[in-house]
Amino acid sequence: MGPGPAKRTAPEAGEASGGAPAPDGPGAPDGPEGPGPAAAPPGPPAGADPVQDAEPGFEEAPEPPRPRTNTAVALVVTAFGAVGCLGSWSLGPGTPAEPAAGTWPLVVCAVITVLGCVLLGTARRTADTEAFSAASWKILAGIGTMAGFIALIGTIGFEIPSALLAFVWLRFLGGESWRLSAVASVLIVAAFYAVFVGLLSVPIPHLF
């Protein structure tokens, strides 16, 4: 008999079966290796500022206004209420049973004065108010024109001061057109006159 087929070594046996050659040595693993750990996501480059590299819409929170800003607002409100009280008293305070032209303006201005005093007392403990801006100056302008309206209404009646007040508010504070401001101010005064003077006969100073 001739010599039989030679024995195949372990690597050759693995290749003949279609698999990978078996590793040699005592440290060889028993089975196939699994996938390795996932790579960590890349971090920001060295020296990068996270605030500057944030999204474009990100903005830092503004600093809270100082106590003197709150004090100034409280003083303006209190002064407005006090001036309104003086103007209303000059029209005649009246009584609850027989109200006069200055009764309700006096009540409203007295409430405004009290609220201004409360704001003044809490000015240093309040930190959630807004800082002064262009809109704040518009509010101050509105308060000033209202004070002028109160000062004039007892002398020349409500028609002309009301028309001027409505025109200034619409044109300069509201940004409306000249034509709309002029027409609307006249219509507002006419409607006010028809309701409070013509229908209700409220004793308010008027020229006509």
> Average pLDDT of the chain?
76
Nearest to 89 by CA among 76, 104, 74: 104
- pLDDT at residue 162 tops 90: yes
User: CB under 8 Å, gap of 24 or more: what pairs does 147-156 form?
Assistant: 147/80, 147/83, 147/84, 150/83, 150/84, 150/87, 150/88, 150/105, 151/83, 151/87, 153/87, 153/91, 153/204, 153/205, 154/87, 154/90, 154/91, 154/205, 155/205, 156/205, 156/207
> Which of 15-24, 68-77, 175-184 is modeled with the greatest confidence?
175-184
140 vs 52 pLDDT, higher one: 140
DSSP conformation class of 144: H
pLDDT in the model for residue 35: 57
- pLDDT at residue 160 tops 90: yes
pLDDT in the model for residue 50: 54
- pLDDT at residue 142 tops 70: yes
45 vs 91 pLDDT, higher one: 91
- Residue 64 pLDDT grade (very low, low, confident, very high; cuts 50, 70, 90): low
Segment 4-42, tens digit of pLDDT: 555 555 445 444 455 555 555 555 555 555 555 555 556
CB 88 within 8 A of CB 109: yes
What pTM value is reported for the model? 0.52
Segment 101-121, tens digit of pLDDT: 788 888 988 999 999 999 888
Q: Give the mean pLDDT of 71-81.
A: 87
pLDDT in the model for residue 58: 47
Nearest to 85 by CA among 108, 65, 69: 108
Q: What percent of the chain has pLDDT over 70?
A: 65
